[in-house]
Chains A and B, each alone.
Chain A
Amino acid sequence: DVKVTQSSRYLVKRTGEKVFLECVQDMDHENMFWYRQDPGLGLRLIYFSYDVKMKEKGDIPEGYSVSREKKERFSLILESASTNQTSMYLCASSFEAYGYTFGSGTRLTVV
């Protein structure tokens, strides 16, 4: 069964910490994405990548960066965590337009 694995289901971090959210897919997909999901705001695209070492800003990239050193791994980095980054973070991968496969999500709380 194809999978997108997010390394942590729950994280609690302190304000100002550098936070790494890891995502690995085993489907050899070119495309990978990071979203955040907040009540009333739906899914918002943070960053995406179409290839190794390639990245594109989504709708809300401020305060975030990403890394894609290998095809299967796409990391989201919060450079200096703030309380307004408390959210559910969802990683997804896809092959062209054929729909996303999502990970189970990481619920991040910044205190």
Chain B
Amino acid sequence: AQSVTQPDIHITVSEGASLELRCNYSYGATPYLFWYVQSPGQGLQLLLKYFSGDTLVQGIKGFEAEFKRSQSSFNLRKPSVHWSDAAEYFCAVGPRGGSYIPTFGRGTSLIVHP
């Protein structure tokens, strides 16, 4: 069965510092890969997605993620964090056919210190 692991429940960074959020997955084949962000009291917003091709994908709000097949990972990065980036981040993996329903990780809460 597929699974998604976000090993860090909470991450604290200082404003202006770089950020990397980890995501590992277990899947039978290369899935579609997603990162979502959820601000407090809001729904989730799609940050970026990987389907094929270049393994470094760019998203909105200055985020990027790198797909590493050998490590079954899809880590999210940002070179300089802003206070407004404080939110919950979810990694998700989805099948390339069939139901298209993704499996979500449990999320990583990002805290940004001034």
Binding site for B on A (CB under 8 A): 4, 6, 31, 33, 40, 42-43, 45, 48, 90, 92, 94, 96-105, 107
Residue A43 contacts which of B90, B94, B96, B97 (CB distance < 8 angstroms)? Answer: B90
Binding site for A on B (CB under 8 A): 32, 34, 36, 41-46, 49, 51, 90, 94-97, 100-102, 104-107
- Main secondary structure, interface of A, reads strand
Contact A42 to B106, CB < 8 A, known contacts A96-B100, A99-B34 = yes
Residue A94 contacts which of B96, B100, B104 (CB distance < 8 angstroms)? Answer: B100
Residue B49 contacts which of A48, A90, A99, A107 (CB distance < 8 angstroms)? Answer: A99
Q: Is the CB of B46 within 8 A of A101?
A: yes
Contacts of A107 in B (CB 8 A): 41
Interface contact tally, CB-CB below 8 A: 47
Contacts of B49 in A (CB 8 A): 98-99
Distance A88 CA – B70 CA, assembled complex (angstroms): 36
Contacts of B36 in A (CB 8 A): 100, 102
The closest CB in chain A to the CB of B49 belongs to A99
CB distance from B67 to the nearest CB of A (A): 15
Distance A12 CA – B97 CA, assembled complex (angstroms): 39
The closest CB in chain B to the CB of A40 belongs to B106
Residue A103 contacts which of B43, B95, B96, B107 (CB distance < 8 angstroms)? Answer: B43
The closest CB in chain B to the CB of A95 belongs to B100
Residue B44 contacts which of A90, A96, A98 (CB distance < 8 angstroms)? Answer: A90
The closest CB in chain B to the CB of A104 belongs to B43
